[in-house]
Amino acid sequence: MKFYRYTDNYLKHFQGEMKKWNYEDGCVLMGCVLLYQATGDEKYQEFVLKYLNEYITNEGTIKYYEEEKYNIDSINTGKVLFHAYEWTGREKYRKAIEVLMNQLRKHPRTKSGNFWHKMIYPNQVWLDGLYMAQPFYMMYETKYNKKENYSDIIEQFKNVRKYLYNEEKELYYHAYDQSKELFWADKETGQSPNFWLRSMGWYLMALIDVMDEMEESIFEHYKTLEDLFREAIKGILKYQDPKSKLFYQVIDRADIKDNYLETSGSAMIGYSILKACRKGVLLKEKYQEMGEAIVDSLTENMLIEEDGTLKLSNICSVAGLGPSDNPRRDGSVEYYLSEPIVCDDQKGVGAYMMAYAQKLMIF
């Protein structure tokens, strides 16, 4: 099958971000975790453990990790540590989980209570950061902390709904600066100016993954996230390309010539829909075919062959806002369309693997 031919070759030649504890590789690792769950094929488990063995010492120290930067991205790969600990029982993984949780305990926050995106992005909340931290945080609270901080997690999502949601468009802006001082921030609302696809993908995955890790018996909290998720799905589907079933880099501007159907964000939406169908958050009868159509379209249209090798195409390499010494990253439509479009980026490949795994598990 095309998917396995591609991913087998990708993992065989995987380079990753060498000597850097990073969220990008964590996306691929989580794809492997879910494919292991879906197929039982131990090659995925072995890939994850081999990778982690390069970064986690026997004492539980994480190589190349820098807590003092208070980078919320650094938390993402920590989710995989829970699985590694469950698989092996090795205490080094449990200790490494505590290293990352210690960052969250001290992580700077906005006045409204959300984690800053990074130390170099003070007072800022990005949709990306919800996926980077909140599923890990919820896993920790459910497994190790008697659910004591569930309300903190829920409030961070509620703040994002309050400060980043556009009622008319039914979409979330990429980011929010509570100080309202950054050059890209609206001086009245603090919002960035546009709707970037992958940021919405991060947000949807954050919601469904947090729901998956929380105790449903805490009904009020669960219902809050469920309502937010359904609302966001309803909004994003308004902008789905009817022919390809995928979504545009700048979500609501299909009218712009240089806008393009982007792989990573589309995969994240497919993943979120299919996982929500599995969990009963969305009706299978209504949404399962939609989710599967997204995944199938990625396989058909975005896996391209060059010199006998399959590549996953149309992935936005990176997009961000600021900091103050980088005025190019201003959140404009032109900015989002100026970033490189690449093949085989971990963020796109990982999301595609995760989405495909959900398709396998839904049966």
Closest listed residue to residue 134, CA positions, set 124, 121, 125: 125
> How much is the pLDDT for 127?
98
> How much is the pLDDT for 217?
85
The enclosing H or E element of 209 equals helix 197-213
Angle between the 127-144 and 91-106 helix axes, to the nearest 10 degrees? 120
Distance CA 143, CA 136 (A): 11
Distance CA 52, CA 307 (A): 32
Tell me which DSSP letter residue 114 carries.
P
Q: Tens place of pLDDT for every residue, the chain, 363 residues? A: 899 999 999 999 998 888 899 999 999 999 999 999 999 999 999 999 999 999 999 999 999 999 999 999 999 999 999 999 999 999 999 999 999 999 999 999 999 999 999 999 999 999 999 999 999 999 999 999 999 999 999 999 999 999 999 999 999 999 999 999 999 999 999 999 999 999 999 999 999 999 999 998 899 999 999 999 999 999 999 999 999 999 999 999 999 999 999 999 999 999 999 999 999 999 999 999 999 999 999 999 999 999 999 999 999 999 999 999 999 999 999 999 999 999 999 999 999 999 999 999 987
Bridge partners, 191 (sequence order): 176
> How much is the pLDDT for 18?
80
Dihedral angle sign, alpha carbons of residues 315, 23, 31, 202 = negative
Q: What is this structure's pTM?
A: 0.98
What single string gives the DSSP state of each residue in 141-165?
HHHHSTTTTHHHHHHHHHHHHHHHE
> How much is the pLDDT for 133?
98
Q: How far out from the chain centre does Cα 19 lie?
A: 22
Cis peptide before 135 (omega within 30 of 0): no
The count of other CB atoms within 10 Å of the CB of residue 108 is 13
SS (H, E, C) 89-108: CCHHHHHHHHHHHHHHHHCC
Within 8 A by CB and 6+ apart from 118, the residues are 69, 70, 71, 72, 73
